[in-house]
Amino acid sequence: MSFSVEYINDELYMEKVAVRDITDSVGTPCYIYSYSSIENNFNSYSDSLSELNPLICYSTKANSNIAVLKIYSKLGAGFDIVSGGELKRVLLAGGDTSKVVFSGVGKTEAEIEEAIKAEILFFNIESIDELHAINRVAISLNKIAPIAIRVNPDIDPKTHPYISTGFKKSKFGIEIGNSINVYREASNMQGINIIAIDAHIGSQIFELSSFNDSLQKLTHMADTLIKENINIQYIDIGGGLGITYRKDETPPSMEEYAGIIKNHLMNKPYRPVIEPGRSLIGNAGIMVTKVLYTKEGSEKNFIIIDAAMNDLIRPAFYNSHHEIIPVMQNEKATNTVDIVGPICESGDFLATDREFPPVANGEYLAVLSAGAYGFVMSSNYNTRPRAAEVLVHGDSINIIKEREYFEDLIRGEKIPDFLSE
């Protein structure tokens, strides 16, 4: 899961394309994704776990561009979705709905109906109220809804609290101590077909002991349910394998990760479902931005760029680290700087107290590890149009999302007649 760019003769390239050629074509800020990195990362999962015939459901929320979803569809992936909008995107991308898993704590009845009609693989049930709602909608459609209970195993994934989802205090899932009773209740519902068990303990996980503990609990529960004639066919282990954001980070290898899954499931009748997102596309993408100004202060030095927290919110939201490098390699002595955007918020930064070589106005910088939770979390704050998205395939540059313009932002806004008098 390495970075998708490299310097060739001191110039940054993605696959066979110079990044400067892309910025000359589409401007900045822009997101750029590597097809070969996306493909290689997916194949790493499928090859490592081939003995278990895994269903790899790409976590659509990580990057939901329809072209990106089309890549995964062509690779044979399923999809983990959390909204009706994401289901529509999967359909537009030609995704196989029989490989779709619908997660999320707040599914509306309209979304449930759409998913049942689309014949998804199963719903991950997050509450008893939701279970009753799905049963009610299924009966009204004269259908049977396939489901899993999302079990909250009360495991500490040792990651950022905002992306930890397996604690008792989390809004996600049903506490493991109560899950058996919920399965029993579901087994007597007319519109429900139980086929799976699910857990998702969090994201950006580096300690595989958390996965091991979760899988141990899931397989024990599945074995218990089978003895009660509840037909568990799938164990959905969630996603969460970490990626490298800092150069000195070393996430677990795919072989280590796959080894834990095999240890628990190799001789079991359950097909594993995996929901990776970040580890499939995070390091397959970058965001490129232009230096507008540099500024020296009495206590801080700043590089002011044309990208902002509305384009990449992770540093402001999670205090997340992204490596940032010049598009033209620069090995000059570094200074301590903050790399900031033009938004009127003190939290509008992409890096603080970062050692960085001197750069001039008009130079380009590449923000690494931006393929996941980048564009998809962007906004129009400060009436800023959202960035373009580009897919590189070999030596070809493919615009997969046009840059927004002011007219796009105000579409649908109206001034009431009484204000026009």
> Residue 296: phi, psi to the nearest 5?
-105, 125
Give the strands of the sheet with 5-8, arranged side by side: 5-8, 11-14, 17-18
Report the alpha-carbon distance of residue 78 to residue 98 in Å, rounded: 8
89 membership: H or E segment, kind and range:
helix 84-92
Report the alpha-carbon distance of residue 187 to residue 148 in Å, rounded: 11
* Greatest extent of the chain over all pairs of C-alpha atoms, in Å: 76
Cα–Cα distances in Å, from 190 out to 136, 139, 145, 226?
Answer: 9, 7, 9, 20
What is the full DSSP assignment across 132-153?
Answer: HHHHHHHHHTT--EEEEEEEE-
> Residue 12: phi, psi to the nearest 5?
-80, 130
Report the alpha-carbon distance of residue 280 to residue 287 in Å, rounded: 17
The strand ranges marked E within 359-410 are 364-367, 388-393, 396-401
Q: For residue 161, give the DSSP letter.
A: G
Q: ∠ CA(171), CA(174), CA(178), 5° rounding? A: 145
Asked if 57 is an active-site residue, the reply is: no
If we measure between CA atoms, which residue out of 113, 41, 105 comes closest to residue 77? 41
Cα–Cα distances in Å, from 228 out to 187, 248, 292?
Answer: 10, 48, 65
If we measure between CA atoms, which residue out of 289, 274, 314 comes closest to residue 41? 274
Specify whether the CB–CB gap between 366 and 20 falls below 8 A: no
> Residue 409: phi, psi to the nearest 5?
-75, -35
Report the alpha-carbon distance of residue 392 to residue 123 in Å, rounded: 34
Report the alpha-carbon distance of residue 40 to residue 163 in Å, rounded: 25
If we measure between CA atoms, which residue out of 118, 68, 65 comes closest to residue 96? 118
Report the alpha-carbon distance of residue 352 to residue 336 in Å, rounded: 8
Catalytic site residue from 266, 344, 360, 419: 344
Tell me the sheet residues that pair with 373. none
Which residues are part of the catalytic machinery? 344
